[in-house]
Amino acid sequence: MVEQRTDGLDANSVWIREGDVRLEGQDCDARLMALRVGLRRHFGVRAVGAAAADEEVERALVALHGAGHLAALAAAGEEPAVMPELAPPGLEPDIPVNAALVAAAREAVRTAISAADRLLEGDRYAYAVCRPPGHHAGPDFIGGYCYLNNAAAAVQALREGGLAPVGVLDLDLHYPNGTSELVERMGGDATLHSLHAAPVTNVAAGTELPRAPRERAHAFAAAPDPTAYLAEVEASLAELAASSAALVVSLGYDTAEGDPHGSWHFGPEVFAGIGRLLAATELPVCVVQEGGYALEALAPCSHAFAAGLLGEDPV
Ligand SMILES: [Zn+2]
């Protein structure tokens, strides 16, 4: 487990717009604490701090995001402000930007890169306990609590370190519109599979999914049965594992029962199942935290996931 640095500032999300409604932000540092509690309960889990150097973080950010995107974020002030120029193509801005959130997003990138570095050092598993999430942040856009793309930064660190091609599996409730664009630009070095809820609202109307040639996008129109869901995870992993040297898993717990942004009902046992399937691939796995906002569900879910991964009894 790689723990994100926090500087004690209030970097909690302020608000998010869903359709025409502005909701109170649900992404907060308390999520990190809950996720760590679930992971720390395993003897096999060792906690390390995010150790990637500033230069490594900078190199990944410049490789992934446009200069205008990075400059706009760097110029953010203390007061939350809407930046329409950073909205995804064809969509309205749905989150504000402020300096504290940008600082937290940079630390989340550092955490994801540090987790990827663990794999390069020879660890089989690393789990970046990071926030804000990143998979809705694209080359030049932000959205859905995401400012910088953590999973893509992990992939970038792996390919730079010679561990490629990378299979990216996104298991958050929402379609990873940002990761999709960034992975597409990596050519043969990375392939994205996503399992998510339909309808997908974070791409421009009329966009066909999958939006890139080698991507797999499996949408569930209604909350899936856990067995059917895990069968799709298994199918994706079989395909990705056949052509990958390592896996990056964008793991969201917003598929869990009670999530304020979700409508599915997964219990912790589904995440134990995901962990077991990842273990069975025998590949190095870098887990990057995406969503999951039901605070009381996070420790049981991260605990069950690690139990499945480590071959322990989840109870
Ligand atoms: Zn999500």
Q: Which residues are catalytic?
A: 136
pLDDT value at position 314?
A: 62
What confidence score (pLDDT) does residue 192 get? 98
For residue 217, the CA-to-ligand 1 centroid distance in Å is: 15
- Across residues 84-113, what is the average pLDDT? 97
Beta-bridge partners for 86: none
Instruction: Report if residue 131 sits inside a domain.
Output: yes
**pLDDT > 80? residue 9:** no
Band the pLDDT of 19: cuts 50, 70, 90: confident
Q: Report the CATH number that the domain containing residue 135 is assigned in CATH.
A: 3.40.800.20
Burial of 62 (0-12, 13-18, 19+ CB in 10 A): exposed
pLDDT of residue 315: 58
Mention every residue, 6+ apart, whose C-beta is less than 8 A from residue 203.
Answer: 88, 90, 91, 175, 177, 209, 211
Neighbour-count burial of 287, counting CB atoms closer than 10 A to its CB (0-12 exposed, 13-18 middle, 19+ buried): buried
Give the pLDDT score at 313. Answer: 75
| Centroid of ligand 1 to alpha carbon of 58 (angstroms) | 26
Residues 37-42 have a mean pLDDT of 96
How far does residue 96's CA lie from ligand 1's centre (Å)? 17
Kindly give the distance from the C-alpha atom of residue 292 to the centroid of ligand 1, in angstroms, as a whole number: 7
315 is a domain residue: no
The percentage of the chain sitting over the pLDDT mark of 70, rounded to a whole number, equals 99
257's tokens:
């029962």
How far apart are the CA of 207 and the centre of ligand 1, in A?
19
In Å, the largest CA–CA distance within the chain is: 48
Instruction: Identify the residue whose tokens are 């989150």.
Output: 95
Task: Return the closest-CA partner of residue 264 out of 218, 292, 224.
Answer: 224
Q: State the residue range of the domain holding 151.
A: 2-310
Report the C-alpha gap between 290 and 178 in whole angstroms: 12
- How would you label 89-98 residue by residue, b for 16+ Cβ within 10 Å and e otherwise? eeeebbbbbb
What mean pLDDT do residues 40-66 have? 97
* Structural domain count of the chain: 1
pTM for the whole thing?
0.98
CA of 251 to the centre of ligand 1 (A): 9
Ligand 1 centroid from CA 131, angstroms: 12
CB 117 within 8 A of CB 51: yes
DSSP 85-145: GGSPTTS---S-B-HHHHHHHHHHHHHHHHHHHHHHTT-SEEEEE-SS--TT--SS--BTT
Please tell me the predicted confidence (pLDDT) of residue 10: 83
Compute the distance between CA of residue 153 and CA of residue 60 in angstroms, rounded to an integer.
6
Mean pLDDT on 185-202: 96
Over 90: is that where the pLDDT of 8 sits? Answer: no
